[in-house]
Amino acid sequence: MVIALKVLITSYHMGEVPISSIGRGLCVLLGISMEDTQKDVDYMVRKILNLRLFDDENGRAWSKSVMDKEYEVLCVSQFTLQCILKGNKPDFHAAMPAELSQPFYNNILEHLRSTYKPEMIKGGQFGAYMQVHIQNDGPVTIELVSPSAPMDPKQLAKQEKQQQRKEKQRSKGPSESGRERAAPRPRAQDPNASSGADGDVSSERET
């Protein structure tokens, strides 16, 4: 998952030590999941660099990308985007472990630099505790999820329950309403037929 913020200025520090900063452009908060692959990298890099979040020369909104405007991109690793709440406690087991996500993060930076201009892509200290200062322009904040990313666990559980209900309905056979719709219509009464209970009912309706 990626959160892209249109910014006027962004910087982050470790304590009092400045690590990285940009002017106008995009601050990208990157949450790497256990399921992410090179396919996700390709998709995210393409979207980050081509999102039309900026005005053109005539002031028309949503017309230009960060590359069109030759703005900067600051990419910050943010494993907390992979949070799953268990009650009120955040759980981060869906995030890729640090020993795997660090080379994955570096790969994204290199892909951004090779696709755009190396000097316009900024990274930082992976895994460090930082203070990030973001001046959001708009505010404009875009959430990007790659198509191959895993589905949200709640949505997955909901779909499983729906599937289980469908399977139970199939095992029980057609529903009552279905049987009623499928039941044949009663034939018209034969006037020569002997009167019985049905005849008594019909005579009662006519009275």
Query: What pTM was computed for the model?
Result: 0.69
Whether 126 contacts 77, CB under 8 Å: yes
Whether 12 contacts 133, CB under 8 Å: yes
Task: Give, as one character, the DSSP assignment of residue 165.
Answer: H
Whether 154 contacts 108, CB under 8 Å: no
Provide the angle, in degrees to the nearest 10, between the axes of the packed helices 38-50 and 98-115.
Answer: 40
Give the C-alpha separation, 9 to 25, whole Å. 8
Whether 26 contacts 149, CB under 8 Å: no
Other C-beta atoms closer than 10 Å to the C-beta of 28 total 26
Q: Enumerate the active-site residues.
A: 80
* HEC letters along 30-87: ECCECCCCHHHHHHHHHHHHHCCCECCCCCCCCCECHHHHCCEEEEEECHHHHCEEEC
Q: Could you list the pLDDT tens digit for every one of the 207 residues in the chain?
A: 788 888 888 998 888 888 899 999 999 999 999 999 999 999 999 999 999 999 999 999 999 999 999 999 999 999 999 999 999 999 999 999 999 999 999 999 999 999 999 999 999 888 888 888 999 999 999 999 888 655 566 665 665 677 667 667 766 655 444 454 455 555 555 555 544 444 444 444 444
Strands (E), 88-185: 89-91, 121-122, 131-144
Residue 146 half-sphere exposure toward CB, CA atoms < 13 A: 22
Whether 53 contacts 160, CB under 8 Å: no
Other C-beta atoms closer than 10 Å to the C-beta of 93 total 10
First to last CA, the chain: 73
Neighbouring residues of 112: CB distance < 8 A, sequence distance ≥ 6: 45, 48, 49, 73, 75, 121
